[in-house]
Amino acid sequence: MAPQEIAFLIISGFRKHYSLFQDITEQVPHAFATQQWHIIEKVNKSRISHYDERVSDTVNILRLHFNTSQVNNQLWYQVKQAYIEILSFHPQAELAETFYNSVFCQLFHHSYFNNNFIFVTSSLSSATTLPVEAEYRSYFPVVDGLKPTIHKIISNINFLCEFGDLEGDIRLLQKAFIKQAPNTHQQHFKMRFDILNTPFYRNKSAYIVGRVISSTGTQPFIIAVLHDANGKLKIDALITNSTQMSLIFGFARAYFMVQTHAPSALVGFLNQLMPSKTQAELYNSIGFHKHGKTEFYRAFLSHQNSHNEQFCVAPGTPGMVMLVFTLPTFPYVFKVIKDQFSESKPFGRDTVLERYQLVKNHDRVGRMADTLEYSNVVIRKSQIDAELLEQMRDKLANSIIEDEEFIVIKHLYIERRITPLNLYLQDASDAEAEFVIDDYGHAIKEMLHVNIFPGDMLLKNFGVSRHKRVIFYDYDEVQYLTEMNFKTLPKTSLNDLYCGESALSFAPNDVFPEQLCTFVLTNPKLRAIFERLHPELLTPDYWQQAQRNIRQHITKHVFPYPQNQRFGQHNKNKGTL
């Protein structure tokens, strides 16, 4: 086959992938309007697995057409050049590069994974890129007036469902803008609204994302839209705080579902609103997690080139399932499954893989860190410190390939680095300790609401983010809440003790909530805080009720913004940031 033919076969595979991905996403607006939450959940899961299926289809087609047993260097160099020409005016060029990489890497050995054959660095620096204006629409209150302009914004979004009291919602929205962002309170002819064309959907919410441009500068904002008790839409909150916006797009939340013709333009706009977010984080947040991995890897290579440092064992209590290491100044950790687990872990490698995939597909409610999954990662041995290299050889022999110069890790996970909760508490003030122990309890409750039982709830398996938010990150014992048996701790009588018998017996999925403090919060001061703030978590009744709610499809909405941001004091539903 000619190089151009191979290039067109690959771009055809990408075209099919992207078209089907958008078709899947297109189901969400109607599902949101009709409150069919199970469809939104199904769409979210199918989008995650969809990419790998389309890559495999393309690989199989290529294998049918020509010999892929080894790389023809000249041919594949020409294929890449032909592909670059195709991408010159492609609206999803950056995603198409990643798709090409995935196809090539499935066909050939990792020794060929360099910029001669794949897009280790992007070819798009000199390409004609779409401006961010391709993804948003501007509105000018000077033309129609402020309130009619807001009406037009809502109308153009077209939620396929009526608002219960749009006039009242708009009044609340204007008051919230004046309170939260007083610098935007300008005369209406001195401002402009830039609004992304389509809303962002996740769980039971939709979000309008935009900014106000005025003579005083730029004010980004997010407008949250929910259903009221009568099935009508309502504006629930206005978010203008940069930290709160970052948390809504955070690494511990499920991916948004949003339609876009030009992802680079959409990400460019979001990056202007949230400049602290990386390209990788933003692509991940809108569901293009495979390209997010590409952007992350490029940032990782750039970091390595600009920092003279070695990989080392990550601080914290060593894991019984994973070897965890890091780079001192790089804000991520690398996790590899050990060859052998502690005796207290009665499962194997396949179970760990399944549980990490379970979390990937699930609603993470802002409490479970996202993971990036990589295969055949090559690291120079000179970049690994002696202690870590020794542990790799001792604990990861089945997961690495070693030669004189390199270590190749067959499979690893990468997560955002956060301070382990047990380490954070060592230096925390009384006020800080109370805050994070309270948030630890909320983290557990919010995971229960979405049918997640974290399993091992030791403090070392939770971390504290830079926003002082408690997040779970160790998934080897994660199971569905509804699979567990929550029981009251039996009382042991003197007769049992004299007879050498115990009424306490364990089935594999038995859980005794009363033991939570006994084994997790051994520090009396921390235990007292938890017992005061979350006593219900120490009773089987609370966990059993959470199970009944899940089985009856009663889903509590976990709000990704503070309760005091919500419109209307009549709403008493519990939620946390």
Q: Just list the catalytic residues.
A: 370
Does 314 show up as a binding residue in the annotation?
yes
C-alpha 249/C-alpha 32 separation (Å) is 19
Q: Which residues pair with 323 in a beta bridge?
A: 336
C-alpha 197/C-alpha 270 separation (Å) is 13
What tokens does 404 get?
């004189």
Does 320 show up as a binding residue in the annotation?
yes
Does 319 show up as a binding residue in the annotation?
yes
C-alpha 566/C-alpha 239 separation (Å) is 9
Q: Which residues pair with 414 in a beta bridge?
A: 334, 372
Give 222-285 as a 3 state SS string. Answer: EEEEEECCCCCEEEEEEECCHHHHHHHCCCCCCCCECCCCCHHHHHHHHHHHCCCCCHHHHHHH
Residue 293 vs residues 201, 261, 282, 284, 297: alpha-carbon distances, Å: 22, 20, 11, 8, 6
Kind and range of the H or E element at 511?
Answer: strand 510-511
Does 250 show up as a binding residue in the annotation?
no
Does 210 show up as a binding residue in the annotation?
no
C-alpha 515/C-alpha 519 separation (Å) is 6
Buried b (16+ CB within 10 A) or exposed e, 292-322: bbbbbbbebeeebeeeeebbebbebeebebb
Strand, coil or helix: 378: strand
Does 184 show up as a binding residue in the annotation?
no
C-alpha 404/C-alpha 388 separation (Å) is 16
Torsion angles phi and psi, residue 311, rounded to 5: -65, 145
C-alpha 250/C-alpha 281 separation (Å) is 8
What tokens does 423 get?
């380490």
Does 392 show up as a binding residue in the annotation?
no
Residues that constitute the known binding site: 314-320, 335
State the binding site for ATP. 314-320, 335
